[in-house]
Copies of this chain bind each other. A is one copy, B any other.
Amino acid sequence: MSRVYNFSAGPAVLPEEVLKEAAEEMLDYRGCGMSVMEMSHRSGMFETIINEAEEDLRDLLQIPENYKVLFLQGGASQQFAMIPMNLMKNREADYIVTGQWAKKAWQEAQKYGKANKIASSEDKTFSYIPDCSDLDISPNADYVYICENNTIYGTKFRELPNTKGKTLVADVSSCFLSEPVDVSKYGVLYGGVQKNIGPAGMVISIIREDLITGDVLEGTPTMLNFKTHADAGSLYNTPNSYCIYMCGKVFKWLKNMGGLSVMKERNEKKAALLYDFLDKSHLFKGTVVPKDRSLMNVPFVTGNPELDAKFVKEAKEAGLENLKGHRSVGGMRASIYNAMPVEGVEALVAFMKKFEKENV
């Protein structure tokens, strides 16, 4: 067995220890004689798994008592509809559009009410985060929506927008658990787990209880009503049980690593290695305004598409996988989530140095 360094934006690298444990437990979970994949979601064994997962997540993020944690199917894309269906009581909401995912969420919301684009960074290919300290928040807005870390463009809200008292809803798919977060500043924060947590097929949504009213827009499917899942502890119907199990293992791994403050330091160190090199390099350059750079997704270019393609190809041959930028922007992107070891980033920088020497 030989493992590559996998810079995929998601599904993405998982901690090797976690994968090893999962492999060992595949046919017989802790002496119970079956795989977690084969367990009834109503069994006592699975109850322990889901409850521990939730508790560990609550510990890691210090989630206040008055927030529910939901394990949902459908991907982050399904939340683009669930958010307005559940929260748009006034049929109006404000969206800050900082990338493709925020834009898709904004477009989906237009099906359900007035979705105002109150700020955008599309004018400069989403390469920065707009100033959100004093926006025109709509008086009737039920919430203000952001995509906190923009996976494709590599930007991050270093400071949350001033919502002027309105509920903040954030898609944290690509920065989930990368650093400590003050959950009480959000009404809803949610993310697909397939980037920084576990295998694909689940979203974790953390929702302040008063926002879970059951009073949803007409025509909202039972399965898209937050209350359905909140009332049933995410077991209204069969959940993605294996994914819950894997995420639970990652939560324990994060606690063993020292929790989110330690992860933040580690992530800052990894990102600095890469950004520092990009800033010095004569061949490569980062595409994001320095103050808004993401710790998780680092896009860069040579300025020459052919050279970019050559880089991606040769990097792959050197065991550095998935460095191609998103199909909508080109260039390169290195996603360096929690599970990417420092050694992976060091290997990438070393390879970039070598490539630069050979190609300038």
List the interface of chain A (C-beta within 8 A of B). Answer: 1-4, 6, 8-14, 16, 19-20, 22-24, 26-28, 32-35, 37-43, 73-78, 80-82, 85, 108, 111-112, 192, 194, 198-202, 217-219, 221-224, 236-243, 246, 319, 321-322, 327
Nearest neighbor of A34 in chain B, beta-carbon distance: B6
Interchain residue pairs A-B with the least CB separation, the first 8: A201-B240, A81-B221, A4-B33, A23-B26, A37-B199, A77-B237, A73-B73, A1-B28
Asked if A33 and B243 make an inter-chain contact with CB atoms under 8 angstroms apart, the answer reads no
In whole angstroms, what is the CA distance A202 to B237 when docked? Answer: 12
B11 touches A241 (CB 8 A): yes
A201 x B237 contact (CB < 8 A): no
Q: Which residues from B are CB-within-8-Å of A74?
A: 73-74, 78, 223
17 contacts between A and B (CB under 8 A): A1-B27, A2-B28, A2-B33, A3-B28, A3-B33, A4-B32, A11-B238, A19-B27, A19-B35, A20-B26, A20-B27, A37-B246, A78-B221, A82-B221, A200-B241, A201-B238, A217-B219
Report if A37-B23 is in contact (Cβ < 8 Å); known contacts: A74-B74, A81-B223, A201-B241. Answer: no
Q: Cβ of A199 and Cβ of B242 under 8 Å apart?
A: yes
CA distance A27 to B218 in the complex (A): 46
A236: B residues at CB distance < 8 A: 77
Asked if A81 contacts B10 (CB within 8 A), the reply is no
Do the beta carbons of A40 and B9 come within 8 Å of each other?
A: yes
Q: How many copies does the complex hold?
A: 2
Beta-carbon contact of B33 and A26 below 8 Å: no
- Beyond the given pairs A11-B39, A23-B27, A73-B74, 12 more chain A to chain B contacts, judged by CB atoms under 8 angstroms and listed by A's residue number, are A1-B28, A3-B27, A8-B43, A10-B238, A14-B37, A19-B35, A22-B26, A23-B23, A81-B222, A194-B238, A200-B241, A201-B241
Q: Is the CB of A34 within 8 A of B200?
A: no
A147 → B minimal CB distance (Å): 14
Which residues of the partner chain B approach A198 to less than 8 Å between Cβ atoms? 37
Q: Are A238 and B200 in contact (CB under 8 A)?
A: yes
**Are B27 and A12 neighbours in the complex by a CB distance under 8 Å?**
no
CB-nearest residue of chain B to A1: B28
Q: Which of B1, B4, B111, B240 contacts A240 (CB 8 A)?
A: B240
Q: Point out the residue from B16, B33, B75, B238 that lies within 8 Å of A75, measured CB to CB.
A: B238
Chain B residues, Cβ within 8 Å of A82 = 221
Query: Do A4 and B34 contact each other (CB < 8 Å), given the known contacts A23-B26, A74-B78, A221-B108?
Result: yes
The answer to whether A75 and B223 have CB atoms under 8 Å apart is yes
* A10/B221 in contact, CB under 8 A: no
Evaluate whether A73 and B34 lie within 8 angstroms (CB atoms) in the complex, with A40-B10, A43-B322, A219-B111 already known: no
In the complex, the answer to whether A200 meets B1 with C-beta atoms within 8 Å is: no
